[in-house]
Amino acid sequence: MIKENALDRRLSVAPMMDWTDRHCRYFLRQLSRHTLLYTEMVTTGALLHGDRARFLDYHPGEKPVAIQLGGSNPTDLAKCASFAQSHGYDEVNLNVGCPSDRVQEGRIGACLMAEPQTVADCIKAMQDEVSIPVTVKHRIGINGRDSWDELCEFVGTIADTGCKTFIAHARIAILEGLNPKENREIPPLKYDVVYKLKQTFPDLEIIINGGIQTLEQTQEHLKHVDGVMIGREAYNNPYILAAADKLIFDRDVDETDRHDVLAAMYPYIEHEMSQGVRLNHMTRHLLGLFQGLPGARRFRRYISENAHRPEASVDTLKQAAALVNC
Ligand SMILES: Cc1cc2nc3c(=O)[nH]c(=O)nc-3n(C[C@H](O)[C@H](O)[C@H](O)COP(=O)(O)O)c2cc1C
């Protein structure tokens, strides 16, 4: 186990555009105190030229929280890392894993796996600017550049800057022909490649990502790597996180009941609504809470049909919860 960074990354929830916004993260935090949460990717362009305060905003109760940046200009990234540090983020992560056409045009994401030195320059520039950890999220390769040696060159070049933490999505990205969704499903998962990365670079903190769905699987991966990042399953079936503090972080706590998790959201939702946030912008992240239980569909449907109405309030959520008997 790597001890140099104070952040405990044994379990984290992945950055997911449109999904892991601040409301989602506040909700996930009610399920696990210690799981590290990542923001959606924010591009340097958005932070430098857009509504910066809005992009950086989060609730202190979400912490520990890492911001993910998208960009390839070292000066811009350094400035954005500095904004993130000033706002109290616990980590800055660079996206070198997203394969969408749109980000490729901006030289953002997985296409940067072909340019290890550019990524190293970006990481170095950010490290020179901030004292919080700067980490990389990447694939195990891209089409045309998917050999073991190329992966080692990529990781090694970046590690030379002093970067210690690498989050490896255990599949390659195919930059032409597959859309982002297909790129999360079609290229096969190769966990053994990520395990081998840890063996080859034992001093680095290697976090594995891709297709992991349970804490039992997490525990299995932790025998080979330093941490596990879960994406889709944590969003679609968030209650899997409820036992994380006990099972993954070794804390002597019991999992919170689903209804108590929901009740913990009520004051937050009321406050956010008083600030003009619409109920359904928050409740959309709660739909999977009762996944697998009798009444889960009724819960989802009630929220979907009612949370957007002008008169909707936290009572709408309470009425939805009353439809689930557990
Ligand atoms: C809706 C959605 C949005 C995503 N957005 C991002 C993103 O902004 N940055 C990123 O690095 N990865 C993004 N990803 C990829 C995830 O972080 C993760 O690497 C991928 O889903 C594989 O993990 P999983 O199988 O546990 O979901 C996204 C995935 C999904 C499903």
Is the pLDDT assigned to residue 326 strictly greater than 80?
no
Q: What pLDDT is recorded for position 102?
A: 76
Q: Prior bond to 64 cis, omega within 30?
A: yes
Q: What are the structural domain ranges in the chain? A: 11-247, 258-321
Q: What is the band of 106 on the pLDDT scale with cuts at 50, 70, 90?
A: confident
**11-247: what fold?**
TIM Barrel (3.20.20)
Question: Beta strands 134-139 and 165-169: pairing type?
Answer: parallel
70 lines ligand 1 (CB under 6 A): no
Minimum-distance ligand 1 atom for the alpha carbon of 68:
9
Query: Which of 232, 233, 235, 285 for a ligand 1 pocket mutation test, highest count of atoms within 8 Å of Cβ?
Result: 232
Average pLDDT across the chain, whole number: 95
- State both tokens at 184: 């999360």
Instruction: Return contacts of 148-153, CB within 8 angstroms, 24+ apart.
Output: 148/193, 148/196, 151/193, 151/197, 152/197, 152/200, 153/116
For residue 231, report the distance from its CA to the centre of ligand 1, in Å.
6
For residue 316, report the distance from its CA to the centre of ligand 1, in Å.
30
> For the segment 281-291, what is each residue's pLDDT rounded down to a tens digit?
999 999 999 99
Is the pLDDT assigned to residue 5 strictly greater than 60?
no
17 lines ligand 1 (CB under 6 A): yes
Is the pLDDT assigned to residue 2 strictly greater than 60?
no
Catalytic residue, from 24, 98, 111, 122: name it.
98
For residue 326, report the distance from its CA to the centre of ligand 1, in Å.
31
Q: Distance between CA atoms of 69 and 94, rounded to whole angstroms?
A: 5
Angstrom CA distances, 102 to 106, 114, 192, stand at 7, 17, 31
> For the segment 31-70, what is each residue's pLDDT rounded down to a tens digit?
999 999 999 999 999 999 999 999 999 999 999 999 999 9
Minimum-distance ligand 1 atom for the alpha carbon of 232:
27
**258-321: what fold?**
Four Helix Bundle (Hemerythrin (Met), subunit A) (1.20.120)
